[in-house]
Amino acid sequence: MKPRLFLLMLLFTLKGFAQPKPLEGIVFDKESKERIATVNIHDLTNGIAIYNNLKGEYQIIATDGDVLVFSRQNYRSDTVKVQSKEPQAIYLVRLAIQLKEVTVHNTNLTPDQKLAATKNDFTKIYGSLAYGDFLSTPYGGGAGLSIDALWNSISRSGRNASKLRDFIQHDYEQNVIDYRFNREYVGGITGLKDDKLTSFMFRYRPGYYTTTTMSDYEFITMIRANLRRYLRSQRTYGLPPLVSK
């Protein structure tokens, strides 16, 4: 009897020391659906208070019936009563309307037209400061050294102009890729939408040479081949399915 009694006492003792399973969840902005960090979660029942992490995720020791208050500056506080240990999605409402930054582009311009407009805006760096050929042809014939090119290579203005031209060229090449490899075109070929389409386009974005040298047939074939790779390699990450409050 004594050994059995000892085992029962040990079992109850270990059970008393067992840590309860924490309540998990993520806090979102109700309007933008983006995750919100540094949200204060206060359990009014047991007095525990924590902050969620930079990914918007939180873990707090709470039991059924506990009352949690979610609060953050510039947001309306939300009160939730714990009813289960399933992960929860909490949506906070902003106190003021957040205006997103809007950049206006002329979508009717092709990349070549945009480059021409840029060159027109920066006439100086594509004028005298653009001359970089070290060899010149004198009036008397034969090859000579270009004074303009030598000056631009050692002057600060010449070097800055060269860097700006390189940046404009890189921007032009990215515009060429975006013009052909766009969401409507790729979505029509792959059938992907929203986040999956964004993920696919980020992972399999072609280079400038590929974009400008492939025929339409080759380009579509490449996208479909990448789609097969993408579908084979898809994996699911994160917490279990969230339950809205």
Q: Tens digits of per-residue pLDDT, 98-155?
A: 555 555 555 567 887 877 776 676 665 555 545 444 444 444 444 444 444 544 555 5
Q: What is the β-pairing status of strands 67-71 and 40-43? A: antiparallel
Query: Whole-number mean pLDDT of the chain?
Result: 76
Q: Is 90 helix (H, G, I), strand (E, B) or coil?
A: strand
pLDDT at 229 over 60: yes
Q: Is 236 helix (H, G, I), strand (E, B) or coil?
A: coil
Identity of the highest mean pLDDT range in 27-31, 135-139, 235-239 = 27-31
Lowest mean pLDDT across 71-75, 148-152, 162-166, 167-171: 148-152
Rg (CA), the chain: 31
C-alpha distances out from residue 48 to 28, 63, 68, 72, 77, Å: 21, 12, 9, 16, 17
pLDDT at 199: 87
- How far is Cα 243 from Cα 25, in angstroms, rounded to an integer? 9
Using one digit for the tens of pLDDT, what is the confidence trace for 168-199? Answer: 788 888 889 988 999 999 999 999 988 889 88
Place of tokens 């919100």: 36
More confident residue, 9 or 188: 188
Q: Which helix (H) or strand (E) holds 135?
A: strand 135-136
